[in-house]
Amino acid sequence: MSAQSPARWTDPEQQELEERVAAAELAWLSMDVDVQTLRVEIDNFALIHHQLLGPLYARLDELDALVAEAVAARTGRPEDLRRAAEARQQVEELPDLDALFDSVQEQREQSGRGEEAAPPPPAAPTRVRPGREAQRIYRELVRRAHPDLTTDPAEQQRRAAFLVRVNEAYAFGDAAALEGLAAEWSTAPEAAPAVDAPDRSDWLRRRLDWLTAKIAETATEQVRLELTPMGQLLALAPQDPDRLLEQLAEELLAKAADRQAELERLLGGPGPVDGDGSQPVGDNGTDPIHPQPSHAQESHTMFAQIPTADAAAVPADAALLDVREQDEWDAGHVDGALHIPLGQVIARLGELPDEKLYVLCRVGGRSAQVVQYLVQQGRDAVNVDGGMHAWQGAGRPMVSSTGQDAFVL
């Protein structure tokens, strides 16, 4: 009969500390992953918000200034003049799309001549939120490779350098790169502090105090991120921020249309000025003061209504451009349409046909931005009102990339 080894005695107090530290580490790491994920999502959302909606906000500011200047020119009242001056101060310079287009064309010409061209600007991210697979791999990697899981300085430095690569891959939503990093980490040795060290209990108490402070610090950072302007905006649709941007674009376009109509009324454009159909008079009862050629009139044509067509009226053989994202295209699109996501349109202008182009997106917001730009470039472009939703509602044919029944995502 073989002798059995005596059961190893475990200090109950140390065992309790071990359990509390393990629970605190799990809670902190989970919270830290959530905060890092939120930070990436807010950064990406802010970037795309600026790229897509910045020109629309600038357009609204310009229209507000033009309206205020037209009112001041009609009334001459000091208060209206002050408001016009303040509105003009709020205007930010519109993006120089012509310069951007020219730079892209110059790069292409240099490439065609075999000259060394300057590196192109980095491509804009096409999605705000990384995919679920990327999120899953990222969380698992951070839990396994976090620097604070070891006390060895060299190991902490190695883990920190590794997580820099992990965070970079996650920022681009690159699931394939994250999978490669996960495979790399699974073969690397992991250092761990000794379990039976004489001063283990003291270390556990210090570790628990540190973890408690880190949990509080991480919770504070999460609240700070959530209360930022972009954080509060993202919270309106955390699971579908891309659709939120599209809705915001629709709202801004509607506001711009209202401002444009008001400006046309003030400048003597279509429609009566007053409710009774008469022309307005100044405060002294005289005829209104019509502004001389000025910044307001010179800028008037900048914001003319873009060409629009009903989905049902688009010719069957029309050239179509779909500016939605890849997943939207895969779910359902018009057979034969050209697919260029919104963020790639300027860089791929050379792919557009010279004929009249009908531009589509989901409901018409993104396509309106593209049409506005194309018209400014002298191209014949038309926005399909209501986008693919209107196309589907009109019973127009659609196909999917998967061979399944097509639908509008």
The residues assigned a catalytic role are 361
Give the rounded distance of the alpha carbon of 28 from its chain centre: 29
Residues 361, 381: Cα–Cα separation, whole Å? 14
Instruction: Supply 322's token pair.
Output: 């779909």
Nearest to 65 by CA among 256, 296, 341: 296
Element (H, E) at 20: helix 12-75
Other beta carbons within 10 Å of 33: 19
Residues 13, 8: Cα–Cα separation, whole Å? 15
Instruction: Decide: helix, strand or coil at residue 131.
Output: coil
Instruction: Decide: helix, strand or coil at residue 338.
Output: strand
What is the b/e burial string over 82-109, where b = at least 16 CB atoms within 10 angstroms of the residue's CB? ebbeebbeebeeeeeeeeebeebeebee
Residues 376, 299: Cα–Cα separation, whole Å? 13
Q: Do the beta carbons of residue 128 and residue 44 sit within 8 Å?
A: yes
Q: Do the beta carbons of residue 334 and residue 320 sit within 8 Å?
A: yes
- Integer CA distances (angstroms), 379 to 74, 102, 332, 345, 354, in order: 36, 15, 27, 14, 8
